[in-house]
Amino acid sequence: MVTDVNPLSPAVYAADRAYRVPLSSDPEYIDSILQIAVGENVGLVVPTIDDELALFGDASDRFTDHGIHVAVSAARTSELCADKYQTCRFLASKGVPAAESWLPHEVSADVAFPLFVKPRRGRGGVGAHQVRDRGELDFFTSYVEDPVVQRYLSGPEFTIDVLCDFLGQPLSIVPRRRDVVRAGVIDRGRTVDDPSLIALARACVTEIPFVGAINIQCRMLGEQAAVFEINPRFSGGIPLTIAAGADFPRMLLDLAAGVALPPSIGAFRDGLWMTSYESSMFLLDSRVCLPTYDSRVAPGEVA
């Protein structure tokens, strides 16, 4: 079952059941999700949008009181990860390799180029620019709203999918090389059984408490991978990880059902490629409908 604000969202038609809810910025958002979850006897809630992660982290106890698990990290973790500057600075302070990061006024006069400018809080690669000299740096730090400046990492890019249990212990770690990326999401890539990347992910989850699925974004700088951001949610490329044998959704369902799962780190198919293509849904006007939840209606019926 899914919830959405837009009746044309594809997930609405892929799910067995869907309900319209307010935007996550609406004060009634969490209340509406909780009402649906309780009324439909939901046992597990999986937030997937950056804007809602901290909200669910703050409200997770309300769901727990009804016997509902929420696969989300604490609000303080989501807030840290939403700030790319603070994420990298924190990891570096703990000895975890991370991209050197500065606010515009912290960039030294003799800094070496190239650098990378992007929104301090953003997603999907929007507003991200490589800068090659001082003139471009001055322009893009003025052009990009609330920018962070990072050392440009020129090596191959990787996402490391990680699943942590409800106590924060890592159960699965799957590195993936991102060979072709479009709008911030992998278009073509492959799994990579690299002990150094797995060790990097372990270091991250040791220093920052996570629950559920997270994805760690990193690039090679010489022989060492350096983290440049962490997203405490499912990644866009998670189908590759699942296809490689690390079925994160299944594991979360088992955890929510009380099944004790031992770690299975490294248990995935190495060298599995994913090459993606767009697919469309075609809907008649009469099907474009997303009902709101009505507790007076029996589960599964439409009000």
* 106 within a domain of the structure (yes/no): yes
- Is the model's pLDDT at 295 over the cut of 90? no
* 292 within a domain of the structure (yes/no): no
* 175 within a domain of the structure (yes/no): yes
CATH for 38 = 3.40.50.20
| Cis bond upstream, residue 114 (ω within 30) | yes
Rounded Cα distance between 64 and 72, Å, is: 12
- Does one domain contain both 158 and 239? yes
Mean pLDDT, the chain, rounded, equals 94
Q: What is the pLDDT of residues 77-125, one digit of tens each?
A: 999 999 999 999 999 999 999 999 999 999 999 999 999 999 999 887 7
- Does one domain contain both 200 and 245? yes
- Does one domain contain both 140 and 242? no
Total count of domains within the chain: 3
- Does one domain contain both 63 and 160? no
Instruction: Tell how strand 18-20 and strand 2-4 pair up.
Output: parallel
Task: Determine the average pLDDT of the residues in 128-141.
Answer: 96
Q: Say if pTM beats, i.e. exceeds, 0.75.
A: yes
47 closest CA partner among 78, 8, 6, 82: 78
Looking at residue 298, its pLDDT comes to: 53
* The two structure tokens encoding residue 217: 């974004």
Rounded Cα distance between 71 and 255, Å, is: 10
Other beta carbons within 10 Å of 121: 16
Task: Determine the average pLDDT of the residues in 179-201.
Answer: 92
Q: What is the pLDDT of residues 263-289, one digit of tens each?
A: 999 999 999 999 998 889 999 998 898
The identity of residue 47, as a single letter, is P
- Does one domain contain both 174 and 270? yes
- Does one domain contain both 249 and 175? yes
- Does one domain contain both 17 and 66? yes
- Does one domain contain both 108 and 10? no
* 294 within a domain of the structure (yes/no): no
Other beta carbons within 10 Å of 62: 15
- Does one domain contain both 63 and 159? no
* 173 within a domain of the structure (yes/no): yes
3-state secondary structure labels for all residues of 199-227: HHHHHHHHHCCCCEEEEEEEEEECCEEEE
Bridge partners for 226 per DSSP: 219
- Does one domain contain both 159 and 271? yes
CB 232 within 8 A of CB 78: yes
Q: For residue 195, what are the domain limits?
A: 77-81+154-275
- Is the model's pLDDT at 209 over the cut of 90? yes
CATH for 140 = 3.30.1490.20
- Does one domain contain both 106 and 160? no
- Does one domain contain both 55 and 133? no
Strand order in the sheet with 157-164: 224-231, 212-221, 157-164, 170-182, 185-191, 273-275
* 296 within a domain of the structure (yes/no): no
